[in-house]
A and B are shown apart, each in its own frame.
Chain A
């Protein structure tokens, strides 16, 4: 069972080096215990481009598709037996990156 753990942020480029070190240590733990699938940090919402390729010619629009006070600044995809395991890992991840996270199951 895989879960997406999204990191919720409200200040661009606010990650500190302490947080980065904690995140690395947390990631090492995920790998060692077989929970690691993938993870990454994302650029700020203003670096986003919305693409609409449904028409004859693709359209490119600068900026996020919706302006919000909070956004996704990174994520983990973890492997966990059930939600209890996923929630425990997410709590540790939230502590490591010093931000709230959201856990959602993959279908």
Chain B
């Protein structure tokens, strides 16, 4: 196996096995810090050893065993002076490895712990991306438009609180489940988005593993909570977004915007499943939450055979509904983009102008603004906005797209 292939195997193992290794170790040692560090050490050992020794037949098993050994080493080191503690901790080592089904549940437990309401919302997301998603701290910082040091501290504090206050490691009881789910959904949506718009100069523009992981966990949640509209809404939203994946990036790794996508390349099965979920929710007659509205917006887009057939007035009506639930500037920005299609770019620009203060670090803000300015023939201002968008964008496909658009301004 060439070094490149081993690198790929390790990277795949990281995506597939990270959460499992952390979850198993956390249960055995009752300490997220130990679990995370040992998992990281096990993967570092794989990077060192696999190119020379070859990839083990069962990479996941190898990683779990190695991580467990690392964790025991750490506990032995730390408890040298305290034999009683050592004995107590060592007993965990006898717990046998779970079957695959049980391990999946193990990851769900890990999610509910990471999304516990006693943790600050931003800490829940950060912790889940680190522990379940396996993202690095810099990747998480980028996903949140936050400083790396801030993010590192946020995760450290959250782990310390889980341990000191004894936040339990379990799926909540039926009574508590609905309330606890919305926090989990927010986190899954972020994981999905990190996969959908992956960051980093050497990262693939779409990390299918992350989108797939978010969808897998959303499906699992839906199995647990079939009556929850927002779980269904988020799953539908993810499916309708994922369905467009193949059409969204060119062979050269450049982003293709919705209006230019080859709609024949969309995944019809995923779209049908997404539409079915949206219809199912509409049929309940219950007031939709934000994920259901976002799913409905995507259902409108994916119902149009040609971009020109898009029912923009319905999309604007859905955004109006969404703004009432979520008055964030990002929602307002997306609404403005839809407004441009109905009322024209000049009306949209007036809305976009008012949002600048809040979105001054957000690449999509400048990308949207650049496109509106281009349509208004304000070429030099458009060029400057593309420049800002390119400087802020972390996704390689977006950067390539934005650069071409800027260069085509003439």
Contacts and interface: CB of A to CB of B under 8 A. Distances in A.
Interface of A: 1, 3, 81-84, 86-87, 103-105, 107
A105 B168 contact: no
A105 B166 contact: yes
Contacts of A1: 166
Contacts of A103: 165
11 contacts: A82-B166, A82-B167, A83-B116, A83-B118, A83-B166, A84-B167, A84-B168, A84-B176, A86-B165, A105-B166, A107-B164
A107 B166 CA distance: 11
B164 A105 contact: yes
Most chain B CB neighbours (cut-off 10 Å) among A3, A83, A104: A83
B167 to A, nearest CB: 5
Nearest to B176: A84
B172 interface: yes
Contacts of A3: 165
By secondary structure, the A interface counts as mixed
B165 A83 contact: yes
Given A83-B168, A86-B165, 5 more contacts: A1-B166, A83-B166, A103-B165, A105-B165, A105-B166
B128 to A, nearest CB: 18
A86 B165 CA distance: 10
Interface in B159-207: 164-168, 172, 176
A105 B168 CA distance: 13
A83 B167 CA distance: 5
B118 A87 contact: yes
Nearest to A87: B118
B116 to A, nearest CB: 8
A87 B118 CA distance: 9
A105 B163 CA distance: 10
Contacts of B167: 82-84
A94 to B, nearest CB: 14
Nearest to B116: A83
B404 to A, nearest CB: 52
Contacts of A81: 168
A60 to B, nearest CB: 34
B48 to A, nearest CB: 38
List 7 A-B pairs, minimum CB-CB distance, nearest first: A82-B168, A105-B165, A82-B166, A83-B165, A83-B167, A84-B168, A83-B166
Nearest to A80: B166
Contacts of B166: 1, 82-83, 105
A14 B172 CA distance: 37
B172 A84 contact: yes
Most chain A CB neighbours (cut-off 10 Å) among B165, B168, B176: B165
